[in-house]
Structure 1
Amino acid sequence: MRVTQGAFSFLPDLTDKQITSQVQYCLDNGWAVNLEYTDDPHPRNTYWDMWGHPMFDIADAAGVMMELTACRKAYGDRYIRMSAFDSTHGWESVKLSFIVNRPKEEPGFRLRRQEMEGRNIRYTTETYATDKPEGERYSG
């Protein structure tokens, strides 16, 4: 099952050349870019671990791509997301976010059904990845 979060998730994975183009677009618009990684891609897990600091002062996509290469070297077996923030007054929010790295195998999600009072039914989405402890979720 392919995790679909952020822009471009329903497309084939972007090449590094395509990622570089998107990064340069963000930088040309004055947006700060940052990288985050996780081994728990649950849709409600919005707080991924940050790689370094947001790159407010980088003007060339090559600098961001260098950080992405380092992040992939350290966490290539996890999901890595790139986000761009508009820090101008009145916005101060994410303008673009997309996955730039995925584990080789994406375990997917299960849907748990719970019978509640009366005829109510509650559904919960859980990732299969969390069946293993953190740090072991994508290793053989």
Structure 2
Amino acid sequence: MSMQTDDYRTQYTLETFSFLPEFNADEVYDQIVYIINQGWTPALEHEDPANASAHYWGMWKLPLFGTRDPNEVLVELDACRAAYPNHLIRLIGYDNYTQCQGHNFVVYRPRGM
């Protein structure tokens, strides 16, 4: 993680898409479809902004193994956001062939971040 200013609350650059404006709902949906179409397993992680670079992020439930429905991922995203409204939330696409993350980006930032 690199910080663009000295104040960690001002702006995080946590992943590939950090330089872009925040994704709208359709763009997030398109990224979920991309993850599923690659055959990757979607998963969600969350973390308090103050600890985002200090350690591993907590996983929201188990990864959504075998899901082919982007709406199922959106339901879990909404549930995670309701449970942790002050946390950053990251969407990950796990590639079971290479045993690593094929894709990840922050899908939710608390207000003021």
TM-score of the two chains, using structure 1 as the length reference: 0.69
Match of 2:46 in 1: 37
In structure 1, list runs of 5 or more residues that go unmatched.
Answer: 107-140
1:104 maps to what in 2? 111
Greater share of strand: 1
Return the index of the structure with the highest Cα Rg: 1
Number of the residue aligned with 1:6: 15
Which 4+ residue blocks in structure 1 deviate beyond 3 angstroms? Answer: none
CA RMSD of aligned residues (A): 1.1
Show the counterpart of 2:71: 62
Structure 2 unaligned spans of 5+: 1-9
Cα distance in 2, alignment partners of residues 56 and 6 from structure 1: 23
Q: Which residue identity lines up with residue 48 of structure 1 in the other structure? A: W
Matched residue SS, 2:43: strand
Higher RCO (C-alpha under 8 Å, 6+ residues apart): 2
Equivalences, count: 102
Counterpart CA distance in 1 for 2:15 and 2:41 is: 17
Question: What letter matches 1:97 in structure 2?
Answer: N
SS at the partner of 1:55?
Answer: coil
Task: Give the secondary-structure state (helix, strand or coil) at the position aligned to 2:102.
Answer: strand
Contact 1:7 1:96 in 2 (8 A): no
Q: Which has the higher helix share?
A: 2
How far apart are residue 5 of structure 1 and its match? 1.1
* Partner SS state of residue 13, structure 1: coil
